[in-house]
A = this chain, B = another copy of it.
Amino acid sequence: MTGFADRASEFRPSPVRTVFETALDPAVVSLAGGNPDLSLLPGGSIADLASSLLADRGPEILQYGSGAGTESLRALVVELMARRGSAITQAEVQPLAGSQAGLDLVTKLYCNPRDVVLAEGPTYVGALGVFGSYEVEVRHVDIDREGLDPDEVARALDQLAAEGRRVPFLYTVPTHQNPTGVTLPAERRRALVEVCASRGVLVVEDDPYGMLGFDRSAAAAPTLHSLDPENVIHLGSASKIFSPGLRVGWAVAPAQVRARMQIAAEAVLIHPSVLSQELTVAWLGSPQWPVVLDETIALYRERAEAATAALAAHLGDRAEWTEPSGGFFTWVRFPGTELGDILRRGIAEGVVIVPGAACYADGRSSDAVRVAYSGVSPERIDEGIRRLTAAVR
């Protein structure tokens, strides 16, 4: 049979994946996957919404849709972005089958093989798979408890320019970051978009957790997009505020770029599921949604507190961890400890986490792990951290 293309060497099963599959035993506490908690969703109401959509508009919902997405989803995204401080029009909204598809598209549109993408260190594991699939090199800029330092980003970009490398964009999750849970403050946001714009480098703002902040009294940091709409592509998602199973996300980009994204997206998918788009609009437009979302955020906050309390109780000063501002994750470092194959040792103790090394493209070792508390009860979180402690010892 024909041999694979050069890029296919990037599509190998990872050791992490292989181990995950052996860790589906319910006795194992999974602090690995970034799953939303769906227990507060009213199943009956959502079933009724889907039933009404299909009964009233079946021939339209089931027929081919537009590559530009549904008008109602574009309108919803305009509203959601307005709440985040970005005034946009529907011509800037590209509905997609999940925001991962948006990351795939911007990489496809902007990156040649051997280009360099700048990303946080550590960054979202799934982004590394996308960059690899386009044979793009990733350089990390280490983050602190306030995310990226714009001066460090400037230094990295200048260094890459001196090396003659092409850097199409910076990839960042500035709000309740994956995997650390930290949020970039407003001041750094302004400096960051300025650093990138002045060097002709696009910013890709991945924002799945932006609406999941714990501190309701604090003013949310403005989106990077709101600070420089001409040089920031914003990726949004319904996966963490409603349902990941439906695969609904979107990109917000200057109208000309969005039009190009649509053509590239159509070659892959024709269009995203119309039923998924319309069911998302129906639920996010219902009066129940904000209530359920608030309750669910309270649940995540309680779990974040359970995680940090368990870390303090079991690990004390042997580890340090981030205090999540929102979202699903805390990042736990064990300074001076050789973690080695922590994933496999954790599973032996009955807990599964994402090893820090998986959040870097360059194969470096890491003294950290990502703990996802979003889908686990406080009691199980405590038990999971206890087992993690045993695995590290």
Contact = CB atoms under 8 A, between A and B. Distances in A.
A246 B273 contact: yes
Given A51-B51, A62-B41, A109 B264 contact: no
A112 B9 CA distance: 12
A5 interface: yes
A267 B59 contact: no
A279 to B, nearest CB: 8
Contact of A63 (B47, B202, B244, B267): B244
Interface string A217-243: 000000000000011000000010011
Nearest to A100: B270
A11 to B, nearest CB: 4
A61 B245 contact: yes
A83 interface: no
Contacts of A189: none
A58 B35 contact: no
Contacts of A98: 269-270
A28 interface: no
A196 to B, nearest CB: 9
B64 A35 contact: yes
A44 B55 contact: yes
Contact of A8 (B50, B55, B104, B109): B109
A109 B1 CA distance: 13
Interface string A242-261: 11111100000010000110
A276 interface: yes
Nearest to A52: B47
Contacts of A61: 245
- Integer count of this chain's copies in the complex: 2
A352 interface: no
B168 A11 contact: no
A63 B245 contact: yes
Contacts of A111: 5
Interface in A45-98: 46-48, 50-55, 58-65, 97-98
Contact of A48 (B33, B51, B230, B254): B51
Contact of A270 (B51, B247, B276): B247
A169 interface: yes
Contact of A268 (B62, B104, B132): B104
A101 interface: yes
A187 to B, nearest CB: 24
Interface string A27-40: 00000010110110
A91 to B, nearest CB: 14
A369 interface: no
B1 A202 contact: yes
A72 B275 CA distance: 20
A279 B256 CA distance: 36
B2 A245 contact: no
Nearest to A271: B247
B260 A4 contact: yes
Contacts of A104: 267-268
B64 A43 contact: no
A304 B97 CA distance: 34
Contact of A43 (B47, B54, B115, B201): B54
Given A5-B168, A110-B8, A46 B54 contact: yes
9 contacts: A5-B168, A7-B108, A13-B259, A39-B59, A41-B58, A61-B245, A63-B245, A100-B270, A275-B279
List the 10 closest A-B pairs by CB distance, nearest first: A43-B58, A62-B243, A47-B54, A51-B51, A245-B274, A47-B55, A129-B267, A2-B202, A11-B263, A47-B51
